[in-house]
Amino acid sequence: MADLATLQTRLDEAESAYHRLLTGSLEESIGLGDMQVRYTRSQAPMLAGYISQLKSDVAAAGGTSVGLRRRAMTVTL
């Protein structure tokens, strides 16, 4: 796994590319080491998955735990 600074840089780039895709850009590129990955608007969900994974990796590298989302609580009277 990459160090925290590298992971944070990748996350920032991916989130910026995702934002540009959702606001009108037709194609975005993200550099991953020595390779470039291109995403089109139709691949935005795949980029969102990559962002989610990077967030988990950043949290793990930063020494924090990543919790699960809480479910809604229902009360029956």
pLDDT tens digits, 26-50: 898 888 778 888 998 899 999 999 9
Paired tokens of 55: 């967030």
CA distance linking residue 66 with residue 12, whole number of Å: 18
- Say which residue, 68 or 74, is predicted with more confidence: 74
CA distance linking residue 26 with residue 42, whole number of Å: 9
Q: What single-letter DSSP state applies at residue 23?
A: T
pLDDT tens digits, 1-29: 678 888 888 999 999 999 999 998 889 88
State residue 1's pLDDT score: 66
Instruction: Look up residue 33 and give its amino acid.
Output: G
Q: Where are the beta strands (DSSP E) in the chain?
A: 27-32, 35-40
State residue 46's pLDDT score: 92
Is the CATH number of domain 4-61 3.30.450.20? Answer: no
Domain borders along the chain are 4-61
State residue 70's pLDDT score: 56
